[in-house]
Structure 1
Amino acid sequence: GAWLDSHELPDSEGRMQRAVLTADDMARYSAQIELPVWGRYRDWDIAKCGAWTQGPVLLQSLALLDGLDLNGLDPHGADFIHLVTEAMKLAFADREIYVADPAFTDVPLQALLAKDYTSARRALIGTRASLDLTPGTLTGFEAQRRAMLAALDRLSSTDGAVYEPTMSHLARKRGDTVHLDVIDAEGNMVAATPSGGWLQSSPAIPSLGFCLNTRAQMFWLEDGLPGSLAPGKRPRTTLSPTFAMQNGQPRMVFGTPGGDQQDQWQLIFFLYHAEFGMGLQQALDAPLFHSTHFPASFYPRSRSPGQIMVEDTFGAQVIADLRARGHDVQIAPHMSIGRLTAAAQGADGILRAGASPRLMQAYAVGR
């Protein structure tokens, strides 16, 4: 469009090529400090990054589950997996309609986390697996809801979903998103998920000293949608670190690589720890699952309705029970789902940390 035409730059042979960044764009950029979005679960307060990330889906999922009695369930049983999966489906459906850069789009976060809205959404969780994408309807956002559902219907296929960033492997070395959880001697806590310049797809540019961000692949190229590409706009990223307080005290930071799975794996880890009392490493080692029911954040935004990926560690009976409820269960090998890390300071003042042994280099270090 006109914006791209104004960003034409000469290549090494003098030919004009379209670009998405100019030197002026770089000069005018400055990092922003923003307030987090807060949610509550039992005696925990959870902070997530704002609505230009998918962070609010974890808060919505927790709000939905907070009205259910999970404590009496087997955390490795079919009832638990079913309820958590159905809650996530509802939260991620709302993500598709309402979550985008709030500097450009009115994001109704307060309404999405309101008790009445959450109660109405919770009532949709039944005994059978939902096969539909069911976003809520909010007053004043009806046209946006229709436009987004129509866009998804035009673009989304129903198989082959890619739930992590697409990158070409120009180098032999493979990599992943980085996540860090740090607690210092004074008790300051940081959770950070710095990711965007994939060395395999966007090698470092010698004259700049860094690689260009590749998260623009998450924009919509169709005009008029909350996530449509625009100058100065941030794509709705999947990057989603978490900070948690218990009884008003800073208690824990955690997160993971994993694209659309980040807030799914974090939700399950948090419930293992906060609801069922597992220690950090025990919760990180416990079996994991995730849904591929909702549209992926990455082009071509395909989805697999009703599908969940479940580690075989849950056992044949649990898997059979889930299938009987209508879930399309795909079985993953033992210890192959999730790449979480966490650090915490207990009420006793002791610092603890854990790292998942699954499929990556992850470490817990103290000094």
Structure 2
Amino acid sequence: MFTTRPELTGDFGMVASTHWLASAAGMSVLERGGNAFDAAVTAGFVLQVVEPHLNGPGGDLPVLVWNETEGRATAVCGQGTAPASATIEHYTGLGLDLVPGTGLLAATVPGAFGAWLLMLERWGTWPLEDVLAPAISYAENGFPAIGRIAETIGTVERTFTEDWPTSAAVWMPEGRVPAAGSRLRSPGLAATYRRIADAARSTSGGREAGIAAARTAWYSGFVAEAIARFCAETAWRDSSGREHGGLLTGDDLAGWAATTEEPLGYDYHGARVLKTGPWGQGPVFLQQLALLSGFDLEAAGFLSADYIHTVTEAAKLAFADREAWYGDPEHTEVPMEALLGADYTTARRGLIGAEASLDLRPGSPDGRSPVLPASAPGASAPIGDGVGEPTVRADGRVSGDTCHLDVADRHGNLVSATPSGGWLQSSPVVPELGFCLGTRAQMFWLEPGLPASLRPGSRPRTTLSPSLALRDGRPWMAFGTPGGDQQDQWSLNFLLSVVHGGLNLQEAVDAPMFHSVHFPSSFYPRGSRPGGMVVEERVDPAVVAELRRRGHDVDVQGPWSLGRLSAVSRDSAAPGFLRAAANPRGAQGYAVGR
């Protein structure tokens, strides 16, 4: 099969991410004696600088790790929570029926910083000031503005100049949209991270004490104070068309901390796939695997009409359950064991027929009745909504996308991380800090009684979804992609390409992609397209015709338009090889290693 580049093979270390500078920075850490966790944190901070339209310091972060010393996998939750005063009544009292997709009202506690620090503290070996150094250098000295950054700034130019002058000052420093390839700097962010690094460096007590000092500076010190002041004392126009202040306070930040937990898992064709809990959409990947385990995809033929139809119909059922059942398990009961149970899955599998379903069909695990948002079934949106990167629409509606990175080191450790949020187009820049807040609260519903309803102190049901896979109880693969609701479709397609298509990592990344837009979007304005499917035009036209005959509303996109996957893997038998692959779409993702 044609590939755009080789699958990398070596035995020292591999880093794959959505930007070549982050991959190179992570690999430099491995070359200098750091482990996979040091490398991942370094690359993660670099991504905040060089992909500011896709993530930022004010954003969120889930991570899945395999630590070889402990001999187990762990999920790290860097998803910030809603402010204590963020009640449904507060928003509806402002005349809102949805949380705005931009601006201060959509902000949750910035969780990415705490998650990166927790990973570094628990499993890393480097001091914080060293892993921050590359990000500070790029922010101070500049980095090349990829075309997508310039396009994003161009799309929100009017918002910046008329409504968000603090953002215009950072991203249009000469009063105009920067040209693709020009040098961009983030001096405010550089100063913030330099101050954080100085706090860590000047603390006595060693590496861990430095990390603790940095965490305090962020969540209880000058960063928290600036965020609280900005939310309380300013108001900005958001996607509702009106001006609103924010709800985050210093107490909200001080009371939050990143956490770890046991990942959920499902066994599929010799692999155990691990995902985060239902505070994210990760388990929907496992539900799709459970449904597909009853079909012979190899007999159907890779990327045949039967194959794509079956995978898509399984996705519709799993994502319908996401809408009806997923939410922060600390605030709502999620029947996860039943949703992955054999009896429930068998019954659900029977709903997959020869024709495309046009209904949103959540199930009834343990006999419980599903509850859907009142607006979900009849909502509609352009079929391309959320497709590609960045997701900034021509009609001015603004969302954002995501980054991803994977790391494998020679010690046996694996990392899969999906940082997102705090996009430059999401919210006005806090001038004292040089970055903006995230907008993850837009994923809450303002209807009471739903698993994903807005609740003070709860986590929004994020779309961010890193993946790990084991073989014979040993670490095998770390993989993932940006893409919002598409993450657990594109990533699933990738895994199925490896397992059933017999493809190597790069072949599976390059393979034609497809996904469903049948179910409600997680992003403002929460639209859906019943029966909608998006495919790359490299899918056989005869297959597309057959899918349409079966009732799928197929939209054919460009040949290299869907998915931004990356992956690393290791052989289960020692002394095995490490492998890596990255996405060619968008001409910025790269894997490096030796």
What TM-score results when the alignment is normalised by the length of structure 2? 0.57
Alignment correspondent of 2:483:
258
Cα shift at 1:120: 0.4
Gaps of 5+ in 1: none
Cα shift at 1:204: 4.3
Aligned: 1:220 with 2:445:
yes
1:21 to 229, 248, 257: 248
Alignment correspondent of 2:290:
63
| Between 357-366 and 336-345, the greater mean CA deviation after superposition | 357-366
Cα shift at 1:362: 0.5
Alignment correspondent of 2:538:
313
Cα shift at 1:346: 1.9
- Number of aligned residues: 354
What RMSD in Å do the two structures reach over aligned CA positions? 2.5
Aligned: 1:114 with 2:353:
no
| Distance in 1 of aligned mates of 2:257 and 2:391 | 27
Matching of residues 64-213 of structure 1 within 5 Å: 64-139=291-366, 141-142=368-369, 145-146=370-371, 148-153=372-377, 156-160=378-382, 162-163=385-386, 176-208=401-433, 210-213=435-438
| Between 199-208 and 63-72, the greater mean CA deviation after superposition | 199-208
Residue 10 of structure 1 aligns with an amino acid whose one-letter code is: E
1:9 to 232, 248, 253: 232
| Conservation of the 8 A alpha-carbon contact between 1:168 and 1:201 | no
| Distance in 2 of aligned mates of 1:34 and 1:203 | 33
| Between 299-308 and 85-94, the greater mean CA deviation after superposition | 299-308
| Distance in 2 of aligned mates of 1:192 and 1:80 | 29
Residue 182 of structure 1 aligns with an amino acid whose one-letter code is: V
| Conservation of the 8 A alpha-carbon contact between 1:163 and 1:297 | no
Alignment correspondent of 2:75:
none
Counting aligned pairs with the same residue, the percent is 54
Alignment correspondent of 1:336:
561
| Between 209-218 and 75-84, the greater mean CA deviation after superposition | 209-218
| Between 20-29 and 197-206, the greater mean CA deviation after superposition | 197-206
- Per the alignment, do residues 19 and 140 of structure 1 end up closer, same or farther by CA in structure 2, a change over 3 Å counting? farther
| Conservation of the 8 A alpha-carbon contact between 1:255 and 1:266 | yes
| Conservation of the 8 A alpha-carbon contact between 2:444 and 2:460 | yes
Cα shift at 1:79: 0.8
What TM-score results when the alignment is normalised by the length of structure 1? 0.90
Alignment correspondent of 1:43:
270
| Distance in 1 of aligned mates of 2:323 and 2:273 | 22
Give secondary structure in 2 for the equivalent of 1:85: helix
| Conservation of the 8 A alpha-carbon contact between 1:85 and 1:291 | yes
| Conservation of the 8 A alpha-carbon contact between 2:302 and 2:500 | no
Gaps of 5+ in 2: 1-82, 91-227, 236-243
Higher relative contact order (CA 8 A, sep 6+): 2
Considering fraction of residues, name the structure with more helix.
2
| Distance in 1 of aligned mates of 2:323 and 2:279 | 12
Cα shift at 1:347: 3.3
- For 1:209-257, what per-residue CA distance to the aligned partner results, in whole angstroms no more than 9, with x for missing partners? 5431211111112222221112111110000000000122110000000
| Conservation of the 8 A alpha-carbon contact between 2:469 and 2:477 | yes
| Distance in 1 of aligned mates of 2:490 and 2:512 | 10
- Per the alignment, do residues 166 and 221 of structure 1 end up closer, same or farther by CA in structure 2, a change over 3 Å counting? farther
Aligned: 1:300 with 2:300:
no
